[in-house]
Amino acid sequence: MTTSTYTVKGMTCGHCASSVKEEVGEVAGVTSVEIELESGRLTVVSDGPVDQEKISGAVEEAGYELVGSS
């Protein structure tokens, strides 16, 4: 299991967070997605390492921007 944390820019409501959670959850290997709306924190749990570009693409598909990771 791998856990990665990212920061998403532009989420302002529960619907925003749901959209991001749905898109990121469809990335191959992702098993869990948690979002902290106030801080924009996106926590992704996966079976193994997932390319950040795939996470970024999913966030962009939802209409938001990935601005950092840790």
Q: What is the pLDDT of residue 69?
A: 79
Residue 9 and residue 63: Cα distance in Å, rounded? 10
pLDDT digits (tens, 9 = 90+) for 51-61: 999 999 999 99
Measure the CA–CA gap between 46 and 28, rounded to whole angstroms: 9
Reported as a single tens digit per residue, the pLDDT across 8-20 is 999 999 999 999 9
Residue 70 pLDDT greater than 90, yes or no? no
Residue 34 — very low, low, confident or very high, per pLDDT cuts 50/70/90? Answer: very high
Q: What is the pLDDT of residue 48?
A: 93
Give the DSSP per-residue string, 28-56.
TTEEEEEEETTTTEEEEEESS---HHHHH
Could you give the percent of the chain with pLDDT greater than 90? Answer: 96
